[in-house]
Each structure stands twice: as C-alpha cells, then as structure tokens.
A and B are shown apart, each in its own frame.
Chain A
Amino acid sequence: MSARFAEGARVRVKALYPPGHCRTPYYTRGRCGTVLHVVDHQPDPEELAYGRHGLPKLPVYRVRFALSELWPGDPDPGQGAVVVDLFEPWLEPVEETR
C-alpha cells in the first residue's frame, strides 16, 4: 500500500472542523509536524463510526510535533514533543519557503 508522505516530511494537519466523528485531536489542527513513519494501515474511523466498512484502509502516520509548535502562546513550552497517530487525509504538505 502506498503512502503519500515519506519519513521526515513536514506536514500540516488540516484546520478543518467537520461534523461527525474523527480521531484528529483539536490541538493538532493547523499545526505543523514531522512524519516519523507510517505505523499501520487502518480503516477510516470516520466511516466506521457510522457502521460502514471504512475501506480502503488509510495510511496511519506517527507525526511528531514540538511542544513549541503546538502551544506557541506558552511562555516556556520547554523541550519536548507530542507524537500523534494521524490518518493520511488529515495531512497536507508544508510548502517550502523560498
């Protein structure tokens, strides 16, 4: 199964707020992180939640976000990171700045 984003790719979580069930935490939306790797391929939870089969399976990425990226307003976010499992349709490439 193919995956759109390679290890080390910079990605942004789409800042979307659709109705219904999803597994994308609010605190990651609109935030940029780095793809660690594809951890699994799984049925789409947004479909499963309504009794559908959720196929084809989607790539699930481990995406690493620095605390300073997640919480830019915090005076001292400190060294650290949060790694979140995210489904591919929620990720978009970060445009390289020239």
Chain B
Amino acid sequence: MSAQHRHDHDHPHPKQPDLEDGPFTYHMALTEAVASLLLEKGVFSADELRASLELIDSRSPADGARVVARAWVDPGFKARLLENVNAAAAELGIDAGGIPIRAVENRPGVHNVIVCTLCSCYPRLLLGPSPDWYKSRAYRSRVVREPRAVLREFGLELAAETEIVVHDSTAELRYLVLPERPAGTEGWSEAELAAIVTRDCMIGTAVPRPAA
C-alpha cells in the first residue's frame, strides 16, 4: 500500500465476491454429495479427482492449433484427422480424451460453425475450457437460426454465396472446425502456422489471418 493510499480513508472499495458468496444451490449440493460419496466408497481418490481437473484446465487452444497446422502441411495427416481426430491428435502426443471428436473442414464456399444447443458440449481436451459466450443462451439459440448475423457480430463477414453449416453437438461426439489455410502463408513453418490458428477459428466464429 502506498503512502498516498492508506486504508483509513473514508471511501468504500467494492469487495470482490468470494466463491461462496453466491447462493448454495440444489445442484451444487448434489455435486458435493456425489463427489463425497465417490471418494468415501473409494471409486477414486481426492488426488485423482484433483489431477483430472488439473488435466482439463491444462489444455489450451494451442493443442488444437498444432493439430490444424500439421493438417495444413501434411495431406496424409489431414486425411487421418478427418477420419478420427482423437487418433490423429495422439500422433502429436495429445490425449484428446475418450469422447470421439470429428473434424469438419472449411472449403471454398463452405464455412462450418460449432454449437451445442442443448447444453455446452465442447472438445475441451483438445481446445481447453470453452469461452463463456459459447455457453450463453444467446449464442446457442441464435447461431442455429441466423448464423450469418451472429458471425457478423463476431466480425466475420462471409461472402453471400458462402454456405454456413452449423453443427449442433447433440450426442456423444464433439466437433472441431478445420479452417482453410490462408493465402500468404506459403513456406511458413508449422509453428508459425499454428500461431494464427486461434480458438475461435476452431469453433468457426473466426478464420485465420496472416498478421499484416
């Protein structure tokens, strides 16, 4: 605390709420009860539970970007990726988990976007935690009805003749958009290519652009 900002002054500071300051809901109680039971019955240990949360939190869009960049430079890998994302990611040492992930490929005239209208399914083990907007009712309800307008709000203006295909993850499958490699990236290294593949490019709310 600086000499100019002592805490014996009279204006209030907004207090950052603690995690427990919200109401303790029915489903929070249920989650805690189920977790305690599973621990008590020895189904898994507290350390295993902690480690699996840590694993999920350790994932980031950089993993997905590596997969996309490899697909751009290696047609054989791309073919295997379109067949089975989990197996292709494993070739790069990435464990994308047990839920099957399928890639949908952007092509000239076809742009893909991912959503989960029923909840918030997302390829977490390949892209890390999903952005808050992905879980919002606004995104989930609007992108299946007026995808072009939604993408425009993300700053993505697609040609009128480009068809937008929205993929709703309603079963035990997750989707990954394989963006088109942009012009102007000829001769780039895989690492340079991966750097322009952002999270939103793999959801379909953006397209990769080489830095100006």
What residues of chain A have their CB less than 8 Å away from a CB belonging to chain B?
23-25, 27, 39-40, 42, 45, 60, 64, 67, 70-71, 74, 78-87
Contacts and interface: CB of A to CB of B under 8 A. Distances in A.
A83 B102 CA distance: 13
A85 B171 contact: yes
Contact of B171 (A45, A67, A71, A74): A45
A-B pairs with lowest CB-CB distance, top 10:
A85-B171, A80-B164, A82-B166, A84-B168, A85-B170, A60-B171, A23-B170, A82-B144, A83-B167, A79-B163
B147 A39 contact: no
Nearest to B102: A39
A7 to B, nearest CB: 16
The interface residues of chain A, by DSSP majority, are classed as strand
Contact residue range for chain B?
A: 20 to 34
15 contacts: A25-B118, A39-B173, A64-B165, A67-B147, A70-B145, A81-B163, A81-B165, A83-B167, A84-B168, A85-B168, A85-B169, A85-B171, A86-B170, A86-B171, A87-B171
A72 B144 CA distance: 13
Contacts of A39: 102, 171, 173
Contact of B173 (A40, A78, A81): A40
Nearest to A81: B165
Given A27-B117, A40-B100, A74-B145, A80 B163 contact: yes
Q: Which of A42, A79, A82, A84 has the most CB of B within 10 A?
A: A82
A83 B168 contact: yes
A83 B175 CA distance: 11
B161 interface: yes
A13 to B, nearest CB: 11
Given A67-B147, A86-B171, 20 more contacts: A23-B170, A25-B117, A27-B117, A27-B145, A39-B171, A40-B171, A60-B172, A60-B173, A67-B145, A70-B144, A79-B163, A80-B147, A80-B164, A80-B165, A82-B166, A83-B167, A83-B168, A84-B168, A85-B169, A86-B170
B148 interface: yes
Given A23-B118, A27-B117, A40-B100, A85 B164 contact: no
A78 B147 CA distance: 9
Nearest to B164: A80
Interface in B141-155: 144-148
